[in-house]
Structure 1
Amino acid sequence: MANPGRDVLVGIDAGTSVIKAVAFDLAGRQIAVASVPNHYTTKADGAAFQSLDQTWIDCAQTLRDLGAKVEDLAKRTAAVAVTGQGDGTWLVGAKNRPVSDAWLWLDARAADTVLRLQGSPANRARFEATGTGLAACNQGAQIAHMAATTPELLDRAEVALHCKDWLYLKLTGVRATDPSEASFTYGNFRTRRYDDVAIEALGLTARRGLLPEIVDGTKVTHSLSPEAAAATGLLAGTPVCLGFVDIVVTALGAGIHTAGAVGAACSIVGSTGMHMRAVQNADVHLNGEGTGYVIALPIPGMSAQVQSNMAATLNIDWVLNLACDLLSEFGTKLSPSDRVKRIDEWLQLGRPCAHLYHPYISDAGERGPFVDTNARASFIGLTSESRYPDLLRAVIEGLGMAMRDCYAAMGGAMPAELRLTGGATRSRASRGVLGAVVGAPVRISMREEAGAAGAAMMAAVALGAYPDMQACIAEWVTPLLGQVETPDPELMQIYAQAFPGYQQARRALAPVWEEMARQTNAGRYPEVLPSITRVERRAVQ
């Protein structure tokens, strides 16, 4: 149990764009937030990388800033919990020093290696164990690519970590990872341990020594080191909890699983779109295409079945920027709150299903429920009657169609209830469209910082503040779920009829995307055309 007088839990969420530190009381009420923008670099060859040292500096800064907002934070902190962006490769060598910059989940350099590994007879066995499709963002693929192209990096490395693991190392001096990332990358989601079949399928048996100890943060904590205490302003010896990967702790904090809710699902509609349902391990559906993730939840015997769109609100940002750019020509600027208001207004003016929009706006293509690095966004059905509200509505509908596409790939019925969190869910009209496309009533989570909260919930269980995660959910999550919002039955029918056309069109567009990539790359990089026009694809048939 937490020490008397220690009444604060601190959750760290090291995302791709922002690192946050959030203070909660032991009953889950949010006290204060501090944040620092994250820093990473991208290059034309598909590289996306980040400094390990800078990430720690930024993390420590958020904790010091939080200390300035919460009186006596250091003395009051019962535990610190850390989560962060998933996938990617954070190599650490002698004396716990970085070997190189981290390869992020955005990095596409391993695409050709993924193609090679997907063609191996052993790949299906790897998928059956991990429950996770292979993509260039995955650490296993990235290390396999390094082994083939830059083995000297691996030779200098002593351990391969993920973002939150690196921060845990800096906080505690302990090299470890959690059961969620360990099992969906190299292991078996049923046992939550490393799996020889999965490691061998990646061709990494000789590099197995790079894999760290697996630590379940609901059961085990380590102490904040004196060095970390000096950097963060917290007290040495404070318990530190290694959270599960940000995807599932965010879903946990947002309501992916609550007592008595049968068939509920959770979608995080942020920069990317993460679509998840909590299932007993025995009920996991592994699709024939080998796509998606199965990620252990910090609840015994349960996993999140996940499909992920590469881009979600990035599509909304793009279409809103079209309007903002035009308005700025006439001296008008829209604040963030104005944008939400305008979205609702324009959605009401737009015609339902006037156009089809495929929301593959990311330069990295798409990864769920199919994998194609060449996939690109498009409108279908433009006419002389098309107006801007129609386009904006089509973009929101396209996000809903992509969401439905992902849930369909998980097998079984559509969600009976959809819990939503993320930037796009602030608009009630947008929620109405998303719910109608999926065909499910919607509830939003009032939890502002679900990722940090989910990590802090793990610490609360580890400390004994709650007997188990179910009890913690009952106090931290369930009371913060909003009222049920029932979608318009007529809209549901319209979208249900349009969905097969959406799927048919995205399958038919695959060769067009490939040809466009060939033409584009031929102009930019003619000397390397053969290697960069190969397509990474596992299309749903």
Structure 2
Amino acid sequence: MSSPEPVTIGVDVGTTVTKAVAFDAAGAALARAARPTVLDRAGDGRYEQDTERVVDSVVEVLGELRERVAAPVTAVGVTGQGDGLWLVDRDGRSIRPAISWLDGRATPILDRWDREGVTEAAYRRTGNHPFPGSAGPLLAWLDAYEPAALDRAATAAYCKDVVVQRLTGLRATDPSDASAPFLDPHTRDYDEELIARCGLAHRRHLLAPVRPAPHAPLGAEAAAATGLPAGTPVVGAPYDLPASAWGAGVRTVGAGLLIVGTTLACQVLRDRVDTTGEPCGLTLSTWQEGRWLRALPAMVGTAALDWVLRLVGATVADLPGLLERGRADGLTVLPFFAESGERAPFVAPRARARLDGLHLGTQPADLVRATCEAIAFSARHCLTAAALGGELTACGGGVGSARWAQIFADALGRPVRVLAGEEIGARGAALAALAATGEAEPTGPGWQPAGRRHEPDPAVRDRYERDYDRYLEHIALARPGWDRPATPLATT
């Protein structure tokens, strides 16, 4: 009797859920496992996570898959949320709660860096503009207000790198996570002058070494906890944005990926680094020489829609009917609900949401539809700044609604290929695991995710063009108010 065909496992450590998927050689998803994780609101503008609970969630999903899939495991690829700051000791154990990418406590640090020209210098040198929840400002904040924690730490790490270290003992990061804010995109190593300019040269030792495809064998302790054989290759895949682009099949320069999740992640594959124009967004080094992802990860997304749905007493299950009944004519929504403001396609840590054009005849469905259209306009704003020129693929919970997916196509004025399934990031992690362990790019049908195509409706083109122009005008009017200094967030 022949033994089962081997599988590759992809793990995606999100902000609120950890997922793992076992893929066979043809790319078919054989089994899935998930565990919720907790995002704690630790104070005004402060968001943290328990590092140990996040690591436990990974161990649990791997253990569940091991019980459900009898086949041997070729490798495990781990991706996860990017940015933020995960402070750990030499064994990868938590020094303090991880600070989430959603966090806004470092806004005063960025204000100072703006005045001193540091943020613009970072963008001109690396193609990455720091925002409050990125590692650079958070490291500077800890240096100012919790220096003892940094003194006890061995690494100011990223999420998936902590997981890999706990599974294998390897202390390293990959070029995608290291990109923001200190990586020179051409040398793929840290820009020492920029680190010094940020006032962090004395904390340089906390940055993990950058490796092109970090991987190491599963350790004995982690093997016992997960049930996987000791020695199984564990790979630190690119973090969730580039991993999703890999999993979605973005391979052609100019092609893009739109992820409609808690936030709105817009990426376009580029063959050069462009640091001209208004500083904003990210330039992520991929594992391929001469290829970068121009990423505009806006803070708007399904979290904004959830807030509006709660406001009108509705749920996601009501969305199709609300979109069908709603009429957004005359309404303009600026969907900047995140406490840390906006980071793409412009940086405004104090950006705030606005609802304009309301009157007594406005119906709840109108407000919901206007919000969905505004999020689609934000996607257009970002993808335009990222120079989208090829096919656009979309994934994420937001485009699971066919009606909302059609709104994206109409607002963007271009076709959108919407992928089925929710394991795009995990698929990218699995592909990275195969690549890092020397496997050729797999060609099975499952590795090319299926999708449905939404064409823009020419009958509504003029209305969407008009409303998009009005959306941009409202942003231009609001930005001077957002740029005024405000009372700093508490610093203790």
> Which TM bucket (shorter chain)?
over 0.9
321 and 416 in structure 1: CA distance in 2 versus 1, 3 angstrom threshold? same
- The amino acid that maps onto 2:466 is Q
Secondary structure in 2 matching 1:177: coil
Is 1:457 paired with 2:431?
yes
For 1:514 and 1:116, locate their aligned partners in 2 and report how far apart those are by CA, in whole Å. 13
What RMSD, in angstroms, separates the aligned Cα atoms of the two structures? 2.3
Match of 2:131 among 132, 135, 145: 135
231 and 86 in structure 1: CA distance in 2 versus 1, 3 angstrom threshold? same
Residue matched to 1:388: 364
Higher helix share: 1
532 and 174 in structure 1: CA distance in 2 versus 1, 3 angstrom threshold? closer
For 1:51 and 1:349, locate their aligned partners in 2 and report how far apart those are by CA, in whole Å. 42
Residue matched to 1:531: 488
CA contact (8 A) 2:128 2:180 kept: yes
Residue matched to 1:242: 236
Match of 1:144 among 140, 161, 186: 140
- The amino acid that maps onto 2:263 is T
Is 1:99 paired with 2:95?
yes
Give 1:96 shift. Answer: 4.0
Match of 1:286 among 275, 278, 289: 275
In the superposition, the TM-score normalised over structure 2's length comes to: 0.93
Residue matched to 2:413: 439
Give 1:511 shift. Answer: 4.9
Give 1:95 shift. Answer: 4.4
Residue matched to 2:28: 29
For 1:461 and 1:447, locate their aligned partners in 2 and report how far apart those are by CA, in whole Å. 23
Q: Which runs of 5+ in 1 are unaligned?
A: 326-333, 519-529, 534-541
CA contact (8 A) 1:110 1:136 kept: yes
Offset from partner CA, 1:69-107 (integer Å, 9 cap, x none): 22x25xx11101111111111122244432222111122
Is 1:405 paired with 2:389?
no
Is 1:299 paired with 2:288?
yes
For 1:428 and 1:237, locate their aligned partners in 2 and report how far apart those are by CA, in whole Å. 44
255 and 353 in structure 1: CA distance in 2 versus 1, 3 angstrom threshold? farther
Match of 1:165 among 161, 181, 185: 161
Is 1:313 paired with 2:302?
yes
Which deviates more, 9-18 or 377-386? 377-386
Match of 2:319 among 343, 357, 369: 343
Residue matched to 2:398: 424
CA contact (8 A) 2:413 2:456 kept: yes
Give 1:135 shift. Answer: 1.0
Residue matched to 2:264: 273
Matches within 5 A, 1:52-131: 52-70=51-69, 72-73=70-71, 76-131=72-127
150 and 323 in structure 1: CA distance in 2 versus 1, 3 angstrom threshold? closer
Offset from partner CA, 1:123-158 (integer Å, 9 cap, x none): 433212321111111111111111122221111112
Give 1:375 shift. Answer: 2.0
Residue matched to 1:204: 200
Match of 1:488 among 447, 457, 472: 457
277 and 476 in structure 1: CA distance in 2 versus 1, 3 angstrom threshold? farther
- The amino acid that maps onto 2:171 is R
For 1:514 and 1:263, locate their aligned partners in 2 and report how far apart those are by CA, in whole Å. 32
For 2:443 and 2:54, locate their aligned partners in 1 and report how far apart those are by CA, in whole Å. 30
116 and 100 in structure 1: CA distance in 2 versus 1, 3 angstrom threshold? same
Q: Matched residues, percent identical? A: 35
Residue matched to 1:187: 183
In the superposition, the TM-score normalised over structure 1's length comes to: 0.85
380 and 473 in structure 1: CA distance in 2 versus 1, 3 angstrom threshold? farther
For 1:29 and 1:113, locate their aligned partners in 2 and report how far apart those are by CA, in whole Å. 46
Residue matched to 2:349: 373
Offset from partner CA, 1:156-206 (integer Å, 9 cap, x none): 112221110100001101111111111222111222211123212221112
322 and 41 in structure 1: CA distance in 2 versus 1, 3 angstrom threshold? closer
For 2:329 and 2:443, locate their aligned partners in 1 and report how far apart those are by CA, in whole Å. 38
362 and 96 in structure 1: CA distance in 2 versus 1, 3 angstrom threshold? closer
CA contact (8 A) 1:180 1:192 kept: no
For 1:477 and 1:77, locate their aligned partners in 2 and report how far apart those are by CA, in whole Å. 17
CA contact (8 A) 1:354 1:390 kept: no
CA contact (8 A) 1:6 1:77 kept: no
Give 1:474 shift. Answer: 7.6
For 2:255 and 2:91, locate their aligned partners in 1 and report how far apart those are by CA, in whole Å. 46
Offset from partner CA, 1:352-376 (integer Å, 9 cap, x none): 5431111112232222112223322
Residue matched to 1:331: none
Offset from partner CA, 1:29-81 (integer Å, 9 cap, x none): 101111111123212243222222222222111111222222x25xx111011
Secondary structure in 2 matching 1:168: helix
Give 1:447 shift. Answer: 4.1
Secondary structure in 2 matching 1:509: helix
CA contact (8 A) 1:416 1:440 kept: no
- The amino acid that maps onto 2:10 is G
For 2:360 and 2:48, locate their aligned partners in 1 and report how far apart those are by CA, in whole Å. 44
For 1:514 and 1:301, locate their aligned partners in 2 and report how far apart those are by CA, in whole Å. 36
